[in-house]
Amino acid sequence: MGDRWHVEVDRTVCIGSGMCLNHAPHDFRLDTARQSHPQAAELDASERVLAAAEGCPVEAISITLADGGETVFPPEE
C-alpha cells in the first residue's frame, strides 16, 4: 500500500470493545476509560488498520488519506 492514512476514533461513539486491538494491536491503544486511540495521527496504510476500522462494532474509526484527505473508510455511499 505505501500511502499514509490519517486515522481518527470518534470517542463519543467508541464503546471500548477492543476489537481494533485484535486487528491492529500496534496501531491502537485503549486509555484508562477504555476509549480507543490511534498510536499516531498518521499511520502507514495497511490491511490490519483497515480491518480494525471495518471490525469496529460501532464504526467509530474513520480513515482518510493523509495526503489529500480522500475517504478510505467508511466508504462513501
| The three-state (H, E, C) secondary structure of 18-76, written as one string | CHHHHHCCCCEEECCCCCEEECCCEEECCHHHHHHHHHCCCCCEEEEECCCCCEEECCC
Q: What is the pLDDT of residues 31-46, one digit of tens each?
A: 999 999 999 989 999 9
* Residues of the chain below pLDDT 70: 1-2
Could you identify the residue written with the cell 482518510? 64
**pTM attached to this predicted model:** 0.91
Long-range CB contacts for residues 46-50, cutoff 8 Å, separation at least 24? 46/1, 47/1, 48/23, 48/24, 49/5, 49/7, 49/23, 49/24
What is the pLDDT at residue 22? 96
